[in-house]
Amino acid sequence: MELDVLHHGSAIRLDGRVIPLCALWPGARESHRLLKARKLPDKTFELRMSNGDSKLLPDTVFLSPPLLIENISQLLTCADEEGVGLLEDVSVFCRGGRVEEVIPAGSRLSHSQREGVQVLDGRGCVVTPGLVDPHTHPVFAGQRSVEFGLKAAGATYLEIHKAGGGIQSTVDATRAASFEALEAQCWRNLSRLLSWGVTTCEGKSGYALETEGELRLLEVLRSVSQRHPIDVIPTLLGAHSVPREYRERREDYLAQVIHEMIPRAASEGLARYCDVYCEEGAFTLEETERVFAAAQNAGLGLRLHAEQFTDQGGTALAAHMGAASVDHLEAITPDSIAALAKSQTHAVLLPGAALSCRAPWPPATALVDAGVPIALGTDFNPGSSMTASLPLMMSLACMQMGISVELAWRAVTVESARSLGLKDVGQIIAGYQADLVIFDAPDYRYIPYHYGENHVRTVIKGGQVVSC
């Protein structure tokens, strides 16, 4: 049996399973940290806290019991091809980390079936699939609030650059940070996502911009994902920006991305996808195609930062090459929408970035009308979207982009899971991972309606309560 205390004493790992402190010790204060956890011979565990408290727990606490959420006022299964799959007054039974059954209204588990089952009450609550964020940049050092202040005061790009802002400032801070510091910051970022109901996210590298550094960021993502309740689907974003030292020789940097980063990230199993920022001032269409060809050759899936400020033709290229997603699309033209509609590629819309950059909203209704599947992401990153709130993205999509509430729910569950190629998350179906969120809300429409507020009561990952 392997038992150790994780990150700053906020959780333990037992045989590979991460159990947060709040699940073991509900009265523990935020400021209290676990110093030590050890197994005693008499089937108990001893936990010792930073404030001197200690507690003995029977080992049955650590055996994951089956979980029943009963009396759920509204359950969104997202299991159909349209709509949210709304069921009322039902229960969900989970065992072995998977959804076992959705129990219809009027049926109940018998007394003996309930024995040893952890029961949560869903009365007055909305239960949904664990949210899936298909676009985040969670591993970086530092933050850019000074730059935010300058932008708010009307500073130009050049003034921000002169004041030491912009992506290069995050690159400098990230390159200088230790592996442990990056892990700690990434852990906190994932915990922020979790607090808003996210149980799976995509996560990109892209703030080292040299081979060893980019691989190191992917290693941080892997290390944190193995221990944190959130599962991270890793993406190599070496082609995020041309770093300062390669400004006069961008071909050399591209060669590094194509011949070093991509083959190594793929062969070392560190990335599932490869992303490029195709935009004026970043990478051209022709360069994007070369990077994509190398990624496909190495067996990586494709995602693209496309048409954020100008339509460069990236969407049409990505759709033609069978990319999993094209992300942003604020400046997409009708021709590019038509090209996208002919493909299986998802549109990942990022309202937080549009809001922060004062860009036009992406033409969501035109995309929907063309039959393009839509996902929504936070684009959590230190420059243009410093938020981990996927529910806020739903609110912006509904209020500003003309997306229906039902489509918004699908866009953060089933469709975002599909955009990541995931087959057993994003829906509540027997056999799927038991990733669920209990929202303290009277109606599923209430959550995007009452915006900016966190309505999450409980997050369940793999059949276990991971936040409370």
Interface positions with Zn ion (CB under 5 A): 379
Closer by beta carbon to Zn ion, 377 or else 462:
377
Q: How far is the CB of 305 from Zn ion (least distance, A)?
A: 6
Task: Give the pairing of strands 131-133 and 86-95.
Answer: unpaired
Of all residues in this chain, which one has the CB nearest to Zn ion in the complex?
379
Q: What is the dihedral of CA 426, 428, 431, 436, to 10 degrees?
A: 80
Report the sign of the C-alpha dihedral through residues 39, 36, 6, 27, in that order: positive
Closer by beta carbon to Zn ion, 5 or else 353:
353
Closer by beta carbon to Zn ion, 171 or else 438:
171
How many Å apart are CA 445 and CA 322, to the nearest integer? 34
Taking CB atoms within 8 Å and a gap of at least 24, the contacts of 395-398 are 395/448, 395/449, 395/451, 395/452, 396/351, 396/352, 396/354, 396/355, 396/361, 396/451, 397/349, 397/351, 397/364, 397/448, 398/448
Q: How far is the CB of 308 from Zn ion (least distance, A)?
A: 9
Q: How far is the CB of 237 from Zn ion (least distance, A)?
A: 8
Closer by beta carbon to Zn ion, 231 or else 379:
379
Helix (H, G, I), strand (E, B) or coil at 188: helix
Please enumerate in sequence order all residues whose Cβ is within 8 A of that of 434, keeping only pairs 6 or more positions apart, or say none.
67, 94, 97, 98, 99, 460, 461, 462, 463
Closer by beta carbon to Zn ion, 266 or else 278:
278
Closer by beta carbon to Zn ion, 377 or else 391:
377
Q: How far is the CB of 379 from Zn ion (least distance, A)?
A: 5
Closer by beta carbon to Zn ion, 133 or else 379:
379
How many Å apart are CA 318 and CA 228, to the nearest integer? 32
Closer by beta carbon to Zn ion, 136 or else 464:
136
Q: How far is the CB of 35 from Zn ion (least distance, A)?
A: 38
Closer by beta carbon to Zn ion, 379 or else 406:
379
Q: How far is the CB of 204 from Zn ion (least distance, A)?
A: 7
Residue 148 tokens read as: 């935010």
Q: What is the DSSP string of 87-107?
A: EEEEEEEEETTEEEEEEPTT-
Please enumerate in sequence order all residues whose Cβ is within 8 A of that of 456, keeping only pairs 6 or more positions apart, or say none.
195, 196, 197, 437, 438, 439, 440, 467
Report the sign of the C-alpha dihedral through residues 214, 216, 217, 218, in that order: positive
Q: How far is the CB of 404 from Zn ion (least distance, A)?
A: 25
* CB environment 87-108: b (16+ within 10 A), e (fewer): beebbbbbbeebbbebbeeeee
Please enumerate in sequence order all residues whose Cβ is within 8 A of that of 271, keeping only pairs 6 or more positions apart, or say none.
205, 218, 234, 235, 236, 265, 300
Q: How far is the CB of 277 from Zn ion (least distance, A)?
A: 8
Q: How far is the CB of 92 from Zn ion (least distance, A)?
A: 33
Q: How far is the CB of 330 from Zn ion (least distance, A)?
A: 12
Closer by beta carbon to Zn ion, 183 or else 379:
379
CB atoms within 10 A of CB 171: 23
Q: What is the DSSP string of 206-233?
A: -SS-SHHHHHHHHHHHHHHHHHSSSEEE
In eight-state DSSP terms, residue 190 is H
Q: How far is the CB of 279 from Zn ion (least distance, A)?
A: 11
Q: How far is the CB of 241 from Zn ion (least distance, A)?
A: 12
Closer by beta carbon to Zn ion, 77 or else 235:
235
Give phi and psi for 424, each to the nearest 5. Answer: -130, 25
Closer by beta carbon to Zn ion, 379 or else 415:
379
Report the sign of the C-alpha dihedral through residues 252, 255, 259, 262, in that order: positive
The helix (run of H) or strand (run of E) holding residue 37 is: strand 34-40
